[in-house]
Amino acid sequence: MKILLIEDDLQICEVIEKYFGNRDTLVVSVHTGSAALDTIYNSIGEYSLVLLDIMLPEADGFTICREIRRNSDIPLIFITARGREEDILHGYDLGCDDYIVKPVLLSALYAKCTAMIKRAEGHGGNVLECGAIKLDKRRLTCYVDGTEVELPPKSFAILCYLMEHEGWTVDRETLLNRVWGSDYFGVDRVVDNHIKKLRKALGTAGKQIHTAVGKGYKLTNS
């Protein structure tokens, strides 16, 4: 795994780089806000996790976190001397996954990073992909072969649930409960109508949604 460390204290960078490096984990450090932003815009996809300080020259960590979340769902941990409650809450509001106040216990930091990366890799974070379809749950966007497709909220929710259960046959009642809510009293054929519209909106990728006669629907990668 490869970790991006955004920290202006060179001694801290050296200690973390050495500790993680001895455990076969590459840590790449940048020391200013502008260098961090350049990395985010050009190569954030190369990294598995970001460790981010708040007090940085040229751009603070909160600004950087905000930009990261506009471009990526990569796991992000604040490491900072700022331990005020309002700072911690602000960090979580901006989308950080954890907030650690210095001084940092290296063994605990390493364990936290590896666990977070494994969890993100196992669940795919907020981005789901199946065949030609890519769904970003955080940004509420859908792409087919790289082209954005506009979906109404109900269609998006149906597709999201099917993608989270790729390869499973999902019955109409389950989709009704998940998308419309358990207090919905309409007919279950409303699901069929939305599936029809969803297939049309997805174009050629609509064929990835298969009908299991008498059972429900199943999404596959082809």
Report helix, strand or coil for 14: helix
How many Å apart are CA 30 and CA 38, to the nearest integer? 10
Structure-token match 């009642």, residue found: 173
Determine the pLDDT at residue 182: 65
pLDDT at 101 over 90: yes
How many Å apart are CA 220 and CA 206, to the nearest integer? 10
Predicted TM-score (pTM) of the model is 0.58
**CB-based contact 130:221 (threshold 8 Å):** yes
Q: Which of 74, 77, 86, 82 is nearest to 51 (CA)?
A: 77
* CATH numbers and ranges of domains, the chain: 2-123 (3.40.50.2300), 127-219 (1.10.10.10)
Distance of CA 211 to the CA centre of its chain: 29
How many Å apart are CA 103 and CA 49, to the nearest integer? 20
When pLDDT is averaged across residues 65-88 and rounded to a whole number, the result is 90
**CB-based contact 31:51 (threshold 8 Å):** no
**CB-based contact 91:99 (threshold 8 Å):** yes
Determine the pLDDT at residue 125: 57
**CB-based contact 95:76 (threshold 8 Å):** yes
Determine the pLDDT at residue 185: 67
pLDDT digits (tens, 9 = 90+) for 137-193: 777 889 999 899 999 989 999 999 899 888 899 999 889 888 887 667 667 689 999
Who has greater pLDDT, 51 or 169?
Answer: 51
pLDDT at 122 over 80: no
Strand partners, 170: 217
pLDDT digits (tens, 9 = 90+) for 21-50: 999 999 999 999 999 999 998 888 889 999
Who has greater pLDDT, 124 or 30?
Answer: 30
How many Å apart are CA 167 and CA 217, to the nearest integer? 10
CA distances from 222 to 69, 129, 208 (A): 31, 12, 5
Query: What is the residue type of 46?
Result: E
**CB-based contact 101:192 (threshold 8 Å):** no
Which residues are within 8 A (CB) of 216 and not within 5 positions of it... i.e. 6 or more apart?
A: 169, 170, 171, 172, 174, 175
pLDDT at 124 over 60: no
pLDDT digits (tens, 9 = 90+) for 177-221: 888 876 676 676 899 999 999 999 999 999 999 999 888 999 999
How many Å apart are CA 18 and CA 125, to the nearest integer? 28
